[in-house]
Structures are given as structure tokens and as C-alpha cells.
Amino acid sequence: MLDTNLWRYLSDFGGFERVMSVAQENRVAISVAPGTVFEIRELKDDATRKAMLRLAADPRLNRLMPEAYSEAEDFKSEVRRLRPKWLRENPNMKEVNRLKYSWTRVKGGFWERARLDIAPPVTDESMRGATEVDAARREAIALREIVKTQYKPQEAEIPLTSVYYAPPDDSWAHPVEYWRAGACYIWTSELMYYTSPYREWIDGEVDHIEMLWDSQSFKSFWYYEVKAENMKRQWLRGAFEYLQRWYKVTSGTPGDSLLASHLAEVDSVLSADKNFVRFAERCHKEAPFKTATAIKIAAGAATADEICAALNDIGKASLSD
């Protein structure tokens, strides 16, 4: 998987077709995440945006499903295992299947609209999405300020499996793993919105009203019962959000934590962002499950050359395995 910044350098300096050729020779699939398209769509310069979208939405790439879909699939699996009473007696998959088709269809769906730079229709969800990106950036800056005043620098090196959070509610006697608190907060917040993508992906099978009404059980589900290996994407997002607290916040910070959720789906991630690579490598070494290795790629005119070299190395490693 290529980080968003690499698509910018491939667009500016060329080399995309060479990269695709080397990938094919090594039988390596290059993946692209929807979050990359969302970030590119925020670019104001028409020529730059269009050029990047033509590359990042190329039909030869392995197009990943959105993180909300994959996280929802993980969530539903744990609900079936731990809380079958939350499942609907008569599931209705019509809307979910319609949404999924829009993501997987060859023509007329999300990816073709992205490649042609056709803006998505203005809906309640799209308007809320833009607002939440700004809110997420403000939250990242606020967390950075809290860290500078309340935490010691050495805490950045605590093993990710040893980072805990004490819920403010006294009814919860024991601290919980950091990622669990974040996941509980995100899901509780998202389920409040009718237009939430999380709601859209689960509503056909899971009764969200039953879950929220059963609030203590919902918290227990997240705080103590779900397994990290079954919620890999939530663990990865939580790890990135924790590590991001110790570094300068940029406009791409929220996008990085979304992209991190895909590290459970690919073997390697390539990026020109040293902090993204640093965080991904921490996750690769410390996560209680397998995640992608991270490779630092030079920014600028050398980007295509370095991606090709990395693809050759990945191909050789795959053959040796």
C-alpha cells in the first residue's frame, strides 16, 4: 500500500507506469485505500488533484474497501460471538448490498467517479464528513497540548500493549487498554448519527438502539470482552492516535490514523512520511497480531526509483518464503 504523499510525487515527477510494470514483474499487487482518495479530493488545485486521482484510482490497482466497512465487519463478527441478542431477527441486507456494489463495481461506482474527478453528491453525510475532518484536526492539536503539560516524554516509548486508560466512570474499577476506550467512544458517537457510515454498514443486521440502550453491556463489550486479534483495525487506529500525541500535528494527522486501519490487510506500506513509517513499524513490532512492515521512500524525483527497488525486494522476499 502506498501512502498518500507518494501519489503526489508520482504525479509530479512521473514513473507510475514503471512502478506498475515492476509490480507486475514481481507479482506484487499495489493497494490503494479510499482514505487516500478522500485526502486527494481536498486539494484545491484542479490540475494537481485530477492528475493524482487518475493515478490513485487506476483500475489496475487493488482497491481496498473503506475502513468503516472493514471495521463494521469485524464488529459484527464479535457481536455474533458475544452479543447475539443485539442481532436483528429479520436481517435486511438490501441497503448494505447496494452500498457495497457502489464500492466494488467496475463502472459508475466510487472508484470511477474518483478517477474522473466527479465530486460525490452533496448529502448530509458528505457535509458532516467535511466538518468532522476539521474537528478531528482540532482534537489532535488539543491532545498534543495535553501531552505536553501532563505526560512525561518517556511515556511515548511505553510498549503499545501496556498503554492503559482509566475510564472516568467510577463504576469501572479497572483501567482498560487504550485502544478499547477509543473504540468505545468512536462507536458510541457514530451510532448517534443516522448518516454515519458505521450505521449504514451494520443497521441491516444489528439493532443499534438495543446496543445503546444496553449502555453498560456495550461498554463492557468494548472495555473487556472483544479480542484484539478480532478487532485489528481498532487496535491499529488506537495505537496511531496514541503515538500521534507525541509529534507535531499536521493536516494529514487524522488521515494517517484512518490509513493505519488498513495495515492489517496488506503486507507492506510505503511512505515518505518518517513519522508514519515510525508508527507503522512500532505497530509491526508490538501488535499482538501480524501487521504490515513499513518502508521509508524518498520524497521527490527519486520516489519512483525507490518504490521500484522496494517492489523488487518485496518480490524476492516473497519468492524466498
Among 177, 226, 40, 59, residue whose Cα is nearest residue 117: 40
Among 123, 132, 133, residue whose Cα is nearest residue 99: 123
Q: How far apart are CA 47 and CA 57, in angstroms?
A: 16
Q: How far apart are CA 2 and CA 19, in angstroms?
A: 11
Quote the pLDDT of residue 132.
53
Quote the pLDDT of residue 15.
97
Quote the pLDDT of residue 125.
45
Quote the pLDDT of residue 145.
60
- Which parts of the chain register pLDDT below 70? 121-155, 169-173, 248-254, 320-321
Host domain of residue 23? 4-320
Residue 170's CB is within 10 A of a number of other CB atoms, namely 6
Contacts of 58 (CB under 8 A, 6+ apart): 16, 20, 115
Quote the pLDDT of residue 296.
97
Quote the pLDDT of residue 253.
61
Q: What is the dihedral of CA 307, 313, 318, 321, to 10 degrees?
A: -150
Q: What does pTM read for this prediction?
A: 0.88
Quote the pLDDT of residue 300.
95
Quote the pLDDT of residue 260.
92
Residue 319's CB is within 10 A of a number of other CB atoms, namely 9
DSSP 3-state assignment of 1? coil
Among 153, 214, 140, residue whose Cα is nearest residue 182: 140
Q: How far apart are CA 164 and CA 272, in angstroms?
A: 30
Q: Which residue type is seen at 195?
A: T
Quote the pLDDT of residue 299.
95
Quote the pLDDT of residue 225.
96
Quote the pLDDT of residue 124.
46
Alpha helix (H) residue ranges in 158-289: 178-190, 197-202, 208-213, 215-220, 232-244, 253-260, 274-286
Cell match 467510577: residue? 170
Quote the pLDDT of residue 170.
59
Q: Which three cell numbers stand for residue 176?
A: 482498560
Domain count, the chain: 1
Quote the pLDDT of residue 107.
86
Quote the pLDDT of residue 164.
86
